[in-house]
Amino acid sequence: MTARGNYQSIAPDPTKKYIAFSMALAGSSIDAGLKHLIDTRVSQLNGCAFCVDMHVKEAKIHGERELRLHHVAIWWESPLFDARERMALEWAEILTNLPPRGVPDDVYARAREHFSEKELADLTFIIVAINGWNRLNAVYRTPPGALDKLYGLDKANLS
């Protein structure tokens, strides 16, 4: 597929503000390893090739095991994720594919068994952020690997 333009140069001010929003989440109560899993799964669900590529590479650079990265797509059947990670992945899926009446009470209650109010809010914002990036990069068809050098993702040694 051919890229459709560069939203960063077309709309630099909103892009900068969205980057700032995303960067603010880096210091959240959700650890980086879990964030990488969430970013990868949401990007898979949204079919964003650029973001799947980017987040798999980030996760590998930060020490995530390759088999777990392969299993993100089948997390509900995989024995490689603990209960908290499973709940985070379920939360990511339900927020990405939001049901007509929102998040069911039972799902929210189960999420609160694993996450404090602050953690759940932070997790929700992380999911909101990656969904937005997925939509931008899917609309503009940003090629996978296009920013590897800039982001240091070439260090993942994945090609």
Mean pLDDT value of segment 9-17: 94
Q: Model confidence over 27-77: pLDDT tens digits?
A: 899 999 999 999 999 999 999 999 999 999 999 999 999 999 999 999 999
Contact indicator for 117, 25 with CB cutoff of 8 Å: no
Sequence-distant (≥ 6) Cβ neighbours of residue 62 within 8 angstroms: 32, 33, 36
Crossing angle, helix 49-61 and helix 117-140, to 10 degrees?
Answer: 130
Q: Where are the domains of the chain?
A: 32-141
**pLDDT value, residue 159:** 67
Model confidence band, residue 6 (pLDDT cutoffs 50, 70, 90): confident
The CATH classification of domain 32-141, taken from the options 2.30.30.240, 1.10.10.10, 1.10.3720.10, 1.20.1290.10:
1.20.1290.10
Q: So what's the pLDDT on residue 2?
A: 78
- Cα 13 from Cα 17, distance rounded (Å): 6
- pTM of this structure: 0.92
pLDDT digit string (tens) for 99-146? Answer: 999 999 999 999 999 999 999 999 999 999 999 999 999 999 888 888
What was the pLDDT predicted at 108?
98
Instruction: Answer for the pair 11, 132: CB distance below 8 angstroms, yes or no.
Output: no
What is the torsion angle, in degrees rounded to the nearest 10, for the CA atoms of residue 9, residue 134, residue 48 and residue 87?
A: 160
